């Protein structure tokens, strides 16, 4: 079974314009004569998938059986502006998507802990709409360990649902070059939560890619409630000599039974179909035993089965 534990699914109005504007400015800066206002509508157009058709076709093409959709709250606390479709409506419709593609799509809920009624909304998403966990926990300026986040995390512990946390230098902080614990994507913040909630399962998304991977793996090795999501590491597929030893180290330190396949794949025509990294990443992981052998490492077929889906299957009782 192939399970992609980390994807994103967007419809029109899910992300605020102010959030997209950051990307638009970046793109506009790449070529003279472009302005962000020209680019803004194109960004959303490439991301949206109204009925999920492209998304499912993309899974089929790659042979992926199941995808977990991570919610995002890029509204008022991130971008200073709410999205056209309120977060509550987004979470409710993820529940509907789960029902429509029963057994193929599952979704997580995420609400910025500073939102009024955050815990109540999150609880509704889990109990009423059937969402499966908390994630992607990513905020612009608070971490999973901050006091303000604790009511939400305690609720996850109470409901027994896992929390997927973004652990890599977030766009914006990367450029500033702050790779210390002052960076909100630093693994150290997750360690505090792992320590505080030993019975709550945390999924460490991106395993500190690309700079904190040693720290990330080391701390994950100390906590049996910590699982790895290897999304974003696909960005190093072109460099198997560099990537394979790191994957082998993750397996040695944390165990294949704590590693989950993930892509961070977004919906929409810009990311699905020919442009999708899902198929390539699946092929890469499937080919690991052979590629690793050529480089002096060993991956067994059993380990690959666990990474591609077995671990997640057990984690979510599928």
Query: CB nearest Zn ion: which residue?
Result: 166
191 or 264: whose CB is closer to Zn ion? 264
Residue 241 corresponds to which tokens in the numbers above?
Answer: 């000599």
5 or 205: whose CB is closer to Zn ion? 205
Q: How far is the CB of 85 from Zn ion (least distance, A)?
A: 21
Chain positions 195 to 214 lying near Zn ion, rule: CB under 5 A, are 205
Give 146-202 as a DSSP string: SGGGHHHHHHHHHHT--EEEE-SPPTTHHHHT--STTSTT-HHHHHHHHHH-TTS-E
Q: How far is the CB of 136 from Zn ion (least distance, A)?
A: 5
Chain positions 155 to 194 lying near Zn ion, rule: CB under 5 A, are 166
38 or 171: whose CB is closer to Zn ion? 171
194 or 205: whose CB is closer to Zn ion? 205
Q: How many residues bind Zn ion (CB under 5 A)?
A: 2
- Give the position of tokens 């490439």: 46
Query: Pattern of binders to Zn ion over 50-69, x per CB under 5 A?
Result: --------------------
- Give the position of tokens 């690959």: 304
In the three-class reduction of DSSP (H, G, I as helix; E, B as strand; rest coil), residue 86 is classed as coil
Say how far apart CA 221 and CA 214 lie, in whole Å.
11
183 or 304: whose CB is closer to Zn ion? 183
Say how far apart CA 46 and CA 69 lie, in whole Å.
17
Q: How far is the CB of 86 from Zn ion (least distance, A)?
A: 22
124 or 189: whose CB is closer to Zn ion? 189
Q: How far is the CB of 231 from Zn ion (least distance, A)?
A: 7
Q: How far is the CB of 263 from Zn ion (least distance, A)?
A: 11
Q: How far is the CB of 297 from Zn ion (least distance, A)?
A: 27
Chain positions 231 to 290 lying near Zn ion, rule: CB under 5 A, are none
Q: How far is the CB of 202 from Zn ion (least distance, A)?
A: 14
- Taking alpha carbons only, the member of 104, 68, 105, 75 closest to residue 90 is 75
Q: Is the separation of the CB atoms in 194 and 165 below 8 Å? A: no
111 or 304: whose CB is closer to Zn ion? 111
Give the strands of the sheet with 265-266, arranged side by side. Answer: 105-107, 66-69, 3-8, 265-266
Q: How far is the CB of 234 from Zn ion (least distance, A)?
A: 13
- Taking alpha carbons only, the member of 55, 22, 57, 53 closest to residue 39 is 22
Say how far apart CA 130 and CA 74 lie, in whole Å.
22
278 or 304: whose CB is closer to Zn ion? 278
205 or 277: whose CB is closer to Zn ion? 205
Chain positions 64 to 93 lying near Zn ion, rule: CB under 5 A, are none
Query: Pattern of binders to Zn ion over 122-161, x per CB under 5 A?
Result: ----------------------------------------
Sign, Cα dihedral of 129, 135, 139, 142: positive
Q: How many CB atoms lie within 10 A of CB 138?
A: 24
Say how far apart CA 103 and CA 279 lie, in whole Å.
20
Q: How far is the CB of 249 from Zn ion (least distance, A)?
A: 21
Q: Is the separation of the CB atoms in 143 and 112 below 8 Å? A: no
Residues that bind Zn ion (CB under 5 A): 166, 205
């Amino acid at each position: 079974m192939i399970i992609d534990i980390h994807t994103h699914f967007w419809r029109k109005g899910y992300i605020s314009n102010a959030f997209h504007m950051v990307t638009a400015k970046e793109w506009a800066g790449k070529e003279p004569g472009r302005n962000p206002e020209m680019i803004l509508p194109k960004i959303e157009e490439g991301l949206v998938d109204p009925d999920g058709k492209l998304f499912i076709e993309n899974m089929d093409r790659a042979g992926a059986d199941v995808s977990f959709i991570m919610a995002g709250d890029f509204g008022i606390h991130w971008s200073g502006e709410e999205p056209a479709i309120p977060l509550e409506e987004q979470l409710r419709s993820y529940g509907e998507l789960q029902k429509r593609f029963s057994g193929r799509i599952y979704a997580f809920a995420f609400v910025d802990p500073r939102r009024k009624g955050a815990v109540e909304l999150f609880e509704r998403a889990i109990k009423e709409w059937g969402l499966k966990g908390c994630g992607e926990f990513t905020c612009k300026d608070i971490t999973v360990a901050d006091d303000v986040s604790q009511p939400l995390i305690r609720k996850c512990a109470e409901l027994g649902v896992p929390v997927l946390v973004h652990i890599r230098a977030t766009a914006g902080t990367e450029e500033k070059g702050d790779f210390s614990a002052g960076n909100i994507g630093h693994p150290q913040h997750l360690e505090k939560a792992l320590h505080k909630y030993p019975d709550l399962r945390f999924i460490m998304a991106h395993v500190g890619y690309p700079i904190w991977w040693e720290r990330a793996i080391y701390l994950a090795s100390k906590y049996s409630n910590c699982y790895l999501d290897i999304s974003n590491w696909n960005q190093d597929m072109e460099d198997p000599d560099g990537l394979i030893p790191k994957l082998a180290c993750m397996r040695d330190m944390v165990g294949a039974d704590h590693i989950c396949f993930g892509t961070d794949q977004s919906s929409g025509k810009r990311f699905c179909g020919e442009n999708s990294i899902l198929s390539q990443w699946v092929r890469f992981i499937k080919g690991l035993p052979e590629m690793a052998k050529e480089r002096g490492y060993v991956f067994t077929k059993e380990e690959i089965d666990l990474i591609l889906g077995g671990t997640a299957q057990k984690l979510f009782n599928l």
